[in-house]
Chains A and B, each alone.
Chain A
Amino acid sequence: MKTKIKKNAAGDFIKDEGVIVSLADGVCWVEGLEGAKNAEIINFENGVTGMIFNLESERAGILVLNDFEKLKRNDRCYASGNVFTSGVGENLLGRVINPLGIALDSGENLEFKQYLPVEKIAPGVVERQPVDTPLQTGIKAVDAMIPIGRGQRELIIGDRSTGKTALAVDTIINQKDSGVISIYIAIGQKRAKVAQIIQKFKDFEVMKNTIVVVAGASDSVAMRYLAPYVGCTIGEYFMEKGKDVLVVYDDLSKHAWSYREISLLLKRPSGREAYPGDIFYLHSRLLERACRLNEKNGGGSLTALPIIETQSGDVSAYIPTNVISITDGQIYLESDLFFSGVRPALNVGLSVSRVGGTAQNKAMKRVAGKLRLDLSQYWELATFAQFSSDLDTATKEKIERGKRIIEILKQPQYEPMPVAEEIVNVYLATSGGLDDVKVEDIKKVETDFLKFMKEKKGKIFDTIREKKILDEIMEKKITDIFTDFKKDRNFVTN
């Protein structure tokens, strides 16, 4: 026993040492480190830190996490015995950090009481429960047609400047009073853009329940690679405490690029589009961590909104198809729609939510049931109508209805809508209430009517919000109020 204690005490002095034999572009090769483990943190003599990525018989490939320029050949390094961990805690709320947990805002330095490994196996089936609570995005088109549930993974996909980030930011803004903690992870983005987003969060007072993890375009490849895992780990900390968390990965295309960069630098064999063989696992292990835990495990949830940028609308590229197959649905944003003024530029035909339907608000489900069909019919008939001047009444009606639905689903940025107002809006469009209103008047009617309802008939909104149902009596009430409203304000065309 005495010998054992002595040995343990002495063992603390034993360090596993290695020495740099070559280094370039944020990675280095080290000889020695005989006892090193995969993903182990390596400390260099001059305070630089690295993470083992490749373990070979004679050497190890190390991803340098900070101050790469301080390293030189023959520098010594030591294995720490620990894997990469991220500091977690309530003090992160309202802060902007980098993946190493260093504050990037003007606030005080962060100190953590708890650290969690960033790589973790996702909760198993036994610990989970089905997605059954909606996560309101505040965007009419999404909440009505592609409902997202808490614990779901919904991909936001589209070309550059189609409103992908705007949609995610609006969703975060809509969580202001919902009790959901939001984590926005910026991967490989311009710092100016990130600063604008943070400013918006501050303007809408959502920063108090939001955490921003930034690995910008100028940050090292290691930071960009680690950012989503760090964000997810922070999210899991809150989820395990029984809270609902929303994590936005903006975007995973750039994350895949950073992993490709690392893999090529470490001379791993490349495959399709020069991505390494395990690029699917890179994203599947990350997104699999999104879940809704059962009551026994606290009942918290982690909803993931990954973003993927396509090139010229090509959803059949490698990374988009991978992430589409991993997630529980996608919101496809189209540039043609965006530039024709339909914003959010949602392509209803290609967008889907595989599990959100069960979580959708019952009142919304009732009024939005016909919405997708009406819209799909409109797009089909609108193309057909361009070639034919003589249309029968039914077709004309469908086209007119479609035009009005499109107008009502248009929504400016940074104006997420409370669910009760969304329901009333969608009800007016699908019930034909707007059929006798001029298309160009729709926006004004919508704004004025909601204002009128809030001022004079606020109780209806309260009932929908609380009871989450819209029965026939309530529907009739809304229709009557709207009919009178239209007449009073001369919005009716005939």
Chain B
Amino acid sequence: MPVKINKKKVIEINSFIELNKSQKEKIKKSSALLFNVKDPEYLFVTDKGLISGVVLRFGSKVVDLSLKGKLINL
């Protein structure tokens, strides 16, 4: 899927399983800190292709913590 340049401050959180409320809150805090953004919007997406783990996207910046990403790097 093409990466579109993110004009709005939206952090996209792709996860293998659907996250519960507390997990969402935890990941929101850490992702905002990670990308150094103030008051971003969050978009939660479930992606079964990740095998396991989570992928965070902010604009073209990506933090790939999925098993799929690790396997690709191997």
Neighbouring B residues of A18 by C-beta, 8 Å? 3, 60
Chain B window 5-36, contacts with chain A (Cβ cutoff 8 Å), 1 for yes, 0 for no: 10000000000000000000000000001111
Say how far A166's CB is from chain B's closest CB, in angstroms: 50
Chain B window 29-62, contacts with chain A (Cβ cutoff 8 Å), 1 for yes, 0 for no: 0000111100000000000000000000101111
A7, A11, A14, A21: which contacts B2 (Cβ < 8 A)?
A21
Chain A window 1-44, contacts with chain B (Cβ cutoff 8 Å), 1 for yes, 0 for no: 00100010011011111110100000000011111000000000
Interface centre among A34, A35, A58 (most CB of B within 10 A): A34
The yes or no answer to A74 lying at the interface (CB within 8 A) is yes
A14 to B62 CA separation, bound complex (whole angstroms):
5
In the complex the two chains form, is A14's CB within 8 Å of B3's CB?
Answer: no
In the complex the two chains form, is A16's CB within 8 Å of B60's CB?
Answer: yes
Binding site of B, secondary structure by majority: helix, strand, loop or mixed?
mixed
In the complex the two chains form, is B33's CB within 8 Å of A19's CB?
Answer: no
Neighbouring B residues of A10 by C-beta, 8 Å? 33-34, 63
A-B contact count (CB 8 A): 56
Say how far A446's CB is from chain B's closest CB, in angstroms: 68
Neighbouring A residues of B4 by C-beta, 8 Å? 31
Say how far B51's CB is from chain A's closest CB, in angstroms: 16
**Using a Cβ–Cβ cut-off of 8 Å, how many residues does chain A contribute to the interface with B?**
22
Return the chain B residue nearest A36 by Cβ: B60
Neighbouring A residues of B35 by C-beta, 8 Å? 14
In the complex the two chains form, is B33's CB within 8 Å of A17's CB?
Answer: no
Asked if A35 meets B5 with Cβ closer than 8 Å, knowing A10-B34, A14-B34, the reply is: no
Return the chain A residue nearest B59 by Cβ: A34
**Using a Cβ–Cβ cut-off of 8 Å, how many residues does chain B contribute to the interface with A?**
18
Say how far A455's CB is from chain B's closest CB, in angstroms: 70
Neighbouring B residues of A14 by C-beta, 8 Å? 34-35, 61-63
Return the chain B residue nearest A3 by Cβ: B33
In the complex the two chains form, is B62's CB within 8 Å of A15's CB?
Answer: yes
A35 to B58 CA separation, bound complex (whole angstroms):
12
Asked if A32 meets B60 with Cβ closer than 8 Å, knowing A7-B33, A10-B34, A14-B34, the reply is: yes
A324 to B23 CA separation, bound complex (whole angstroms):
68
Neighbouring B residues of A17 by C-beta, 8 Å? 3, 57, 60-62
> B residues engaging A (CB < 8 A)?
1-5, 33-36, 57, 59-65, 72
In addition to A34-B5, A74-B1, 12 A-B residue pairs with Cβ atoms within 8 Å of each other are A7-B33, A10-B34, A13-B63, A14-B61, A17-B60, A18-B3, A18-B60, A21-B2, A34-B59, A35-B60, A35-B61, A58-B5
Which 3 pairs between the two chains have the least Cβ-Cβ distance? Answer: A32-B60, A32-B3, A34-B60
